[in-house]
Amino acid sequence: MANMTMIEAVQNALDIMMDRDPSVVVFGEDVGYFGGVFRCTAGLQKKYGRTRCFDTPISELGIVGAGIGMAAAGMKPCVELQFADYMYPAYDQIVSEAARLRYRSAGEFTCPMVVRMPTGGGIFGAQTHSQSPEALFTHVTGLKTVIPSTPEDARGLLMAAIDDPDPVIFLEPKRLYNGPFDGHHERPVVSWKKHDLGAVADDATAIPIGKARIMRLGNEVTVLAYGTMVHVALTAAEETGIDAEIIDLRTLLPLDTETVFGSVRRTGRCVIIHEATLTCGYGAELAALVQEQCFYHLEAPIQRVAGWDTPYPHAQEWFYFPGPKRVGEALRATVEAI
């Protein structure tokens, strides 16, 4: 076993896949010479050359459009958008071209492309560097949407995403890049490299897309979370003493409904957490699915804990996040409901 930060895990996955397959190319704004704004691509250009890891103009539409063309021609581009907030100029290319290419061409062309982007808050980036737009991708047929919460998952899921024959949106919670936290602090309070929290296997293997992981076993309530909010949920369960079963979804689309429904049917209660705004967030889809499939097992209303329905606040960033206090209140209300 080795210990890595999430940044190192992402870099390691890219290195492994570029070494295994010469058709894998990595590009985006500042990813080449500089190694990426968060250093996730550090050293790749030096190792593989400027034809396989290179910088692009500041044009998200152009970056993704070029990736789609390369993918249709048989390559495996892994492109980086510097922040998830910057994806809007590229959204038309992602939705209208990448996601539809296989269907529109009756399988003659495919788009084995990964679009990596740092997501969420935690760096006081305000409205243009802190958004969580995952629901905009999970709504789109033809895309897969992945978001890891640990270095092991970041490496394994990214390897699987690069090998996938269809486009994958790979969201990286920037608040977790350098270490986990207890939900109360603005910066990581524990290094991934301590206490084996960032342990990854020496023999790197892909983690299948579409499979959730139970992070904490429990009997009173099921908590559905992903990315940064997995660590908030773990803290809230510990601080409240509630016997919560915490599921890290890992893949939002396709969703591991077997694990989700099995847990909710057993506990009879469900709390859903995400950092994005509440209205029409991905939690609404989760709540609808749980209600449809687990209705006769539910003993309390489904609770959602999410970001405010406001533009992303800079000065009040840490109050915007669902923290252990808000999550704990939802857990108590759900468990105590009759």
Q: What is the block-wise mean pLDDT of the chain (338 residues), using blocks of 10 residues?
A: 89 97 97 95 98 97 98 98 95 98 96 97 74 96 97 96 98 89 61 60 89 97 96 93 98 98 98 96 98 98 94 72 92 92
**Which helix (H) or strand (E) element contains residue 276?**
strand 270-277
- Residue 304 DSSP code: E
Half-sphere exposure for 165 (CA within 13 Å, toward CB): 6
Half-sphere exposure for 153 (CA within 13 Å, toward CB): 28
Which residues are catalytically annotated? Answer: 129
Given this model, what pLDDT does residue 192 score? 56
CA angle 10, 12, 18 (to 5 degrees): 105
Q: For residue 57, is the peptide bond before it cis, meaning its omega torsion is within 30 degrees of 0?
A: no
| Rounded Cα distance, 81 and 310, in Å | 24
**Which helix (H) or strand (E) element contains residue 17?**
helix 6-20
Which residue, chain included where needed, has tokens 């009756």? 106
Topology of domain 2-200 in CATH is: Rossmann fold (3.40.50)
Residue 55's contacts (CB-CB under 8 Å, 6 or more residues apart) are: 27, 28, 29, 30, 31, 32, 33, 34
Topology agreement, domain 2-200 and domain 213-336: yes
Given this model, what pLDDT does residue 337 score? 87
What's the CATH number for 213-336? 3.40.50.920
Domain ranges of the chain: 2-200, 213-336
Given this model, what pLDDT does residue 184 score? 65
Given this model, what pLDDT does residue 195 score? 45
| Rounded Cα distance, 190 and 178, in Å | 9
Query: Would you list the DSSP string of 107-164?
Result: TS-----EEEEEES-SS--GGGS----HHHHHTSTT-EEE--SSHHHHHHHHHHHHH-
Nearest one of 43, 32, 39, 82 to 59, comparing CA atoms: 82
Q: What is the CA radius of gyration of the chain?
A: 19
Given this model, what pLDDT does residue 320 score? 79
Buried b (16+ CB within 10 A) or exposed e, 263-292: bbeebbbbbbbbbbbeeebbbbbbbebbee
Nearest one of 275, 329, 274, 335 to 301, comparing CA atoms: 335
Given this model, what pLDDT does residue 218 score? 97
State the angle between helix axes of 324-336 and 229-240 in degrees (0 to 180), rounded to the nearest 10.
60
| Rounded Cα distance, 122 and 102, in Å | 37
